A = this chain, B = another copy of it.
Amino acid sequence: MSLVVIGTVAFDAIETPFGKTDKIVGGAATFASLAASYSVKPVKIVSVVGDDFQQSDIAMLQQHGVDTEGLQVKQGEKSFFWAGKYANDLNSRDTLATELNVLATFDPIIPDSYQDCKYLMLGNLTPQIQRLVIQRLVNRPKLIVMDTMNFWMDTAMDDLLETIQMVDVLSINDEEARQLSGEYSLVKAARKILALGPKFLIIKKGEHGALLFHKKQVFFCPALPLEEVFDPTGAGDTFAGGFIGHVAATDDCSFENLKRAVIHGSAMASFCVEKFGTERLLNLTNEEIQEREKQFSDLVRVEEVLA
């Protein structure tokens, strides 16, 4: 069994109502691989950074069981950089800066040691590059999970649809599901999107939880009502990484097990938002994670009425 995660490894500068950071390590592959590393090791990442990326940052990933052989380091170039500022309710954010840098010419090279890939997480990237990774794997993985965003719906819909057709699980948020399907009802949206190819659709609703659709079945996982949401950055990537990490660790792609993966991913995401960037994901214990998962099931539990 081998889990491969592709996505950005980058620098973020984040401002929330609770504080702001200078450049800190972020990126979809960073959040996803750290989240997955609590379920399975190694997590093999495919990404690219510039020589401004610190050796200590790479070491941090490696210490969490992340295999960085597929992480290209471009000398004389700079890493992808995103700066954003969140509104007071944390539900909307303004992008202050997006510097593609090394991402502009990213050619995802798959090391031979990654060719045993059984589970593939395609973090948010251009759909062409996501597709290229699938094509460069000698054997088709058992399960391919794809995360994407509205930006590609606006700018590269044909490419996006071509890639969506090749994956097993698509993970997007509710607004993106509505945009992709042209349907306001998430039930109708899910039906149209599943017809595009994926066997499973995850619709993320942020503070309102997540829906998992498969054929005519639907599962709802609530979001934990939190005291504090400090920084939502990376929550979706953390969810996706936790999700595929659970599936890879259990090696079970049944709808029933994918439900548990959604709960696990939601639990991981609920940690992510408690601190800036990846901070909260660096030192979790299995006990904390299990306790958090228990809170999710307790939240919706109702005792059966005794007849």
Interface residues of A (CB under 8 A from B): 88-89, 184-188, 190, 205, 208-209, 211, 218-222, 225-229, 256, 259-260, 263, 297, 299-300, 302-303, 305
Chain B residue at minimal CB-CB distance from A213: B225
User: Given that A205-B208, A208-B209, A209-B208 are contacting pairs, would A225 and B302 also be in contact in the complex, using a CB cutoff of 8 Å?
Assistant: no
Q: How far is the CA of A219 from the CA of B222 in the complex (A)?
A: 10
Closest 8 CB pairs of A and B: A208-B208, A300-B300, A220-B222, A220-B299, A187-B225, A259-B302, A187-B227, A256-B303
**Within 8 Å CB of A184, what residues of B?**
88-89
B211 and A225 contacting across the interface, CB-CB below 8 Å = yes
B225 and A186 contacting across the interface, CB-CB below 8 Å = yes
Chain B residue at minimal CB-CB distance from A227: B187
B219 and A300 contacting across the interface, CB-CB below 8 Å = yes
A225 and B218 contacting across the interface, CB-CB below 8 Å = yes
B185 and A302 contacting across the interface, CB-CB below 8 Å = no
What's the nearest-Cβ distance from chain B to residue A229, in Å?
A: 7
Chain B residue at minimal CB-CB distance from A250: B305
B256 and A300 contacting across the interface, CB-CB below 8 Å = no
B185 and A300 contacting across the interface, CB-CB below 8 Å = no
A185 and B299 contacting across the interface, CB-CB below 8 Å = no
**Within 8 Å CB of A186, what residues of B?**
225
What's the nearest-Cβ distance from chain B to residue A71, in Å?
A: 34
A229 and B185 contacting across the interface, CB-CB below 8 Å = yes
**Within 8 Å CB of A302, what residues of B?**
219, 256, 259-260, 263, 297
**Within 8 Å CB of A305, what residues of B?**
260
Q: How far is the CA of A225 from the CA of B212 in the complex (A)?
A: 11
Name 27 A/B residue pairs within 8 A (Cβ), A-sorted. A88-B184, A89-B184, A185-B226, A185-B228, A185-B229, A186-B225, A187-B225, A187-B227, A205-B208, A208-B208, A208-B209, A209-B222, A218-B225, A218-B299, A219-B299, A219-B300, A219-B302, A220-B222, A220-B300, A222-B222, A256-B302, A256-B303, A259-B302, A260-B302, A260-B305, A297-B302, A300-B300
